[in-house]
Amino acid sequence: MKYAIAIALMLFSVALAAQPAAPPVPAATTPVVCDVTYSADVNTMDGHDVSFSQITLNAVPWADVQDNHRKQMRVLDQLSKEQDKGGVYQIEVSEYQACDGGAAVKIADGSALLQGVTLAGTNRVARVALAQADLITQRYEQRANRGDKQGWDHGRAKKVQRDDLGRRKWSQN
């Protein structure tokens, strides 16, 4: 439960200014920007839904995608240490990237299904997730301190379509 909140906070802190990615890509094919989707689904081992968090960040620079992925791996490392402890929680974490207008690809090492996590284990994972979220927030604080007006170049993201009342139009694209 707290893990889901911590993950949501970590994702939220990244979204406020900018948040993970695949192993290094050869220089000739290094993406410029990626739309990245992160999710955390928490259930009890007997199938009760506890929480679901998902966030998509658009047109994130490749360097930030890689850095966020490294931070997510630290959270997944702690989570892996907490599995199979006889706990009541099952946690599925996933990461998808769609780079430079390409199709979304599930990032294998940024995705996991872990079972038997205890409440105490979720608390330990939450602490790691919050620490990583703070590091992401510090990245954007540094950018703001040097005078940047936005977390990254949002001009590469798709334009939002709005209706005549100013409400967002959601599309399937």
Give pLDDT tens digits for 135-164. 999 999 999 999 999 888 888 788 888 888
Q: What are the sequence ranges of the domains in the chain?
A: 2-156
pTM for the structure as a whole: 0.76
Predicted confidence (pLDDT) per residue in 43-101, tens digit: 999 999 999 999 999 999 999 999 999 999 999 999 999 999 999 999 999 999 999 98
DSSP 107-145: -GGG-EEEEEE-HHHHHHHHHHHHHHHHHHHHHHHHHHH
Q: Of 110, 15, 91, 106, which is closest to residue 51 (Cα–Cα)?
A: 91
